[in-house]
């Protein structure tokens, strides 16, 4: 799969562009779904921060703090400082969407506390992932310019760490969502509210699938490009 007419990279169009379009759709989906259920109030009146605190305490994680972080959908768990950080749209909101997101992030804290394997592996390869994301493209470009297959392949191996990180992320995120839904079903949300929270978390999961797809297609394209130049 080489270059098409007028120097257009057909491998990029055929492999990477569809993945990017899927990624854009997934991001639009999660934003629209979150916005929809952000307008649905939770009957119990719990806010995102309150539900996070309750879940953490019920799991014996009183040492894990819940803090507010600026931005929208910037929610995350920081394993280094043992802090669940909830965004402006989640922390003080009593919406079904906010409750779902808060429960998901506490799921990561429980994963960390119980030694969930994929989370530990993902955290362990973060330095390699950062290295790969920064140096892969310069190494590949330099290898192509110098006609050095070894150098280009070193860059591809470095880039593969990014794809590996995205692959490991999938079970981590899916498991956190399953933990969240299981916890929320224990009287925290009604059946109808659970359906809304599930839709929010399912939409969010699509963004991780999309990220893996983009990385995998880019990796395949780079392999084709380097091997084509070698031939």
Which of 31, 28, 43, 54 has its CA nearest to residue 96? 43
**Distance (Å, whole) CA 222 – CA 140:** 8
Q: 56 Cβ partners below 8 Å, 6+ apart?
A: 62, 64, 66, 84, 106, 109
Which of 58, 67, 105, 173 is catalytic? The answer is 105
Q: Is 105 a catalytic residue?
A: yes
Burial of 70 per CB tally in 10 Å (0-12, 13-18, 19+): exposed
Active-site residue list: 105
């Amino acid at each position: 799969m080489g270059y098409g007419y007028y120097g257009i990279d057909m491998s990029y169009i055929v492999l990477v562009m569809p993945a990017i379009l899927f990624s854009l759709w997934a991001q639009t989906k999660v934003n629209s779904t979150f916005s929809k259920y952000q307008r649905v109030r939770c009957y119990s009146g719990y806010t995102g921060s309150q539900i996070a605190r309750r879940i953490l305490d019920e799991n014996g994680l009183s040492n894990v703090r819940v803090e507010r972080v600026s931005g929208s959908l910037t929610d995350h768990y920081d394993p280094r400082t043992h802090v669940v950080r909830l965004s402006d749209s989640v922390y003080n909101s009593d919406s079904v969407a906010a409750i779902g997101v808060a429960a998901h992030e506490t799921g990561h804290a429980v994963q960390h506390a119980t030694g969930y394997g994929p989370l530990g592996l993902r955290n362990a390869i973060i330095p390699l992932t950062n290295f790969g994301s920064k140096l892969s493209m310069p190494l590949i470009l330099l290898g192509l310019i110098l006609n050095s297959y070894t150098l280009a392949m070193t860059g591809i191996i470095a880039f593969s760490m990014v794809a590996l990180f995205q692959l490991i992320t999938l079970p981590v995120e899916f498991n956190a969502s399953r933990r969240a839904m299981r916890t929320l079903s224990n009287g925290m949300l009604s059946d109808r509210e659970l359906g809304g929270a599930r839709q929010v978390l399912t939409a969010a999961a699509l963004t991780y699938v999309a990220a893996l797809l983009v990385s995998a297609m880019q990796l395949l394209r780079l392999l084709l490009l380097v091997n084509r130049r070698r031939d």
